């Protein structure tokens, strides 16, 4: 006799389908990519705050989009992407590479994490050029790396607070910045914030040099409207993009010319929270490889 359907225990087939769909977004199976296996010999101890923040699939997607939108307001960060990235032809590939770097350096074997950090440093040495006004830039510049880092950490953490743990105490937020700073320093970033207050102060310090431009708005449009994996995923993806816009600082939204969502903020936040809870349920009973 078949097991009756129970609302409190959805079929395992649904759980597996959700996990595979998300992992396929982050891993190019055709190139042999597989999810990063969580190691007891990672750069950070199992169960630490950075594991919790970086281990939540939905909030990392939302926070990653918010981080990219912030980063593109820095002329040198924008130029580096514009001149040296394949984002116009392969936005998904770029996002996958970024997600994998974060997964490996957070959850992977220490030796693998150190190797990927060294590889990224070598890549940065060859990323340089001139801004539109003729000012030279280099991806290896410590301050530019600090900008990229502070955008990422604030984006990831604010998404986690908004859709994961709204009551996250400040001591844990500070611990997250301190932990995330280890990889940033290994990449050559300077200065590197070690607390929430440090991160907010660094963001404010960069603000006078930020600018919006036709290029930054074009990149923002591409970030916010990537092809959906399927028709069924399109409305969910659109909602998560709006959630990313929602957690941006108001001044950053204004610079990008981004308007509030056509539906209520409460609906966006409620929908994103529901998606986050659903994916936590789906991944909870796996062997816990990272999505990326």
pLDDT of 23 higher than 80: no
pLDDT of 5 higher than 60: no
Nearest to 178 by CA among 41, 70, 48: 48
Taking only the tens place, the pLDDT of each residue in 167-207 is 999 999 999 999 999 999 999 999 999 999 999 999 999 99
- Between 27 and 238, name the one with better pLDDT: 238
Taking only the tens place, the pLDDT of each residue in 228-264 is 777 777 888 888 999 999 999 999 999 999 876 656 7
Angle at 108 between CA 125 and CA 81, to 5 degrees: 35
Cα 60 off chain centre by: 5
Phi and psi at residue 128, to the nearest 5° = -155, 165
Length of the chain: 292
Taking only the tens place, the pLDDT of each residue in 36-89 is 889 999 999 999 999 999 999 899 999 999 999 999 999 999 999 898 876 666
CA atoms of 37 and 291, how far apart (whole Å): 9
Can you give the pLDDT at residue 289? Answer: 56
Nearest to 194 by CA among 150, 236, 133, 235: 150
Mean pLDDT of 126-155: 96
CA atoms of 42 and 139, how far apart (whole Å): 26
Is there a contact between 244 and 69 (Cβ–Cβ < 8 Å)? yes
- Looking at the chain, the whole-number percentage of residues with pLDDT higher than 70 is 83
Can you give the pLDDT at residue 75? Answer: 97
pLDDT of 29 higher than 60: yes
Cα 204 off chain centre by: 21
- Write down the pTM of the prediction: 0.87
Cα atoms in the Cβ-side hemisphere of radius 13 Å centred on 77 = 26
- Between 178 and 282, name the one with better pLDDT: 178
Can you give the pLDDT at residue 285? Answer: 60
Query: Mean of the per-residue pLDDT values for the chain?
Result: 87
Q: Tokens 């001044």, residue?
A: 251
Which two three-digit tokens encode residue 129?
Answer: 């050029």
DSSP for 176-230? HHHHHHHHHHHHT-SS---SHHHHHHHHHHHGGG----HHHHHHHHHHHSPPPSS
Which two three-digit tokens encode residue 40?
Answer: 């007891």
Phi and psi at residue 236, to the nearest 5° = -70, -45
């Amino acid at each position: 006799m078949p097991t009756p359907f129970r609302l409190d225990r959805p079929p395992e087939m649904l759980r597996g389908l959700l996990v595979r769909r998300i992992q396929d977004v982050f891993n190019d199976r055709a190139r042999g990519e597989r999810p990063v296996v969580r190691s007891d010999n990672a750069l950070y101890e199992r169960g630490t705050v950075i594991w919790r923040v970086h281990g939540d699939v939905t909030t990392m997607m939302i926070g990653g989009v918010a981080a990219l939108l912030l980063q593109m307001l820095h002329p040198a960060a924008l130029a580096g992407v514009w001149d040296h990235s394949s984002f116009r032809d392969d936005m998904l590939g770029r996002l996958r590479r970024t997600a994998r770097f974060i997964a490996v350096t957070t959850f992977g074997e220490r030796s693998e994490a150190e190797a990927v950090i060294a590889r990224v440093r070598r890549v940065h040495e060859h990323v340089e050029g001139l801004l539109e006004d003729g000012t030279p830039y280099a991806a290896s510049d410590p301050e530019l790396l600090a900008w990229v880092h502070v955008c990422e950490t604030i984006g990831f953490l604010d998404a986690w607070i908004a859709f994961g743990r709204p009551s996250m105490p400040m001591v844990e937020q500070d611990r997250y910045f301190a932990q995330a700073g280890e990889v940033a320093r290994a990449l050559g970033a300077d200065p590197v914030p070690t607390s929430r207050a440090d991160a907010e102060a660094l963001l404010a310090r960069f603000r006078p040099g930020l600018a919006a431009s036709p290029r930054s708005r074009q990149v923002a449009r591409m970030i916010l409207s990537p092809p959906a994996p399927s028709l069924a995923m399109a409305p969910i993806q659109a909602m998560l993009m709006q959630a990313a816009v929602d957690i941006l600082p108001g001044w950053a939204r204004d610079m990008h010319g981004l308007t509030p969502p056509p539906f209520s903020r409460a609906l966006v936040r409620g929908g994103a929270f529901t998606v986050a809870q659903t994916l936590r349920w789906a991944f909870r009973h796996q062997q816990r490889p990272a999505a990326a």
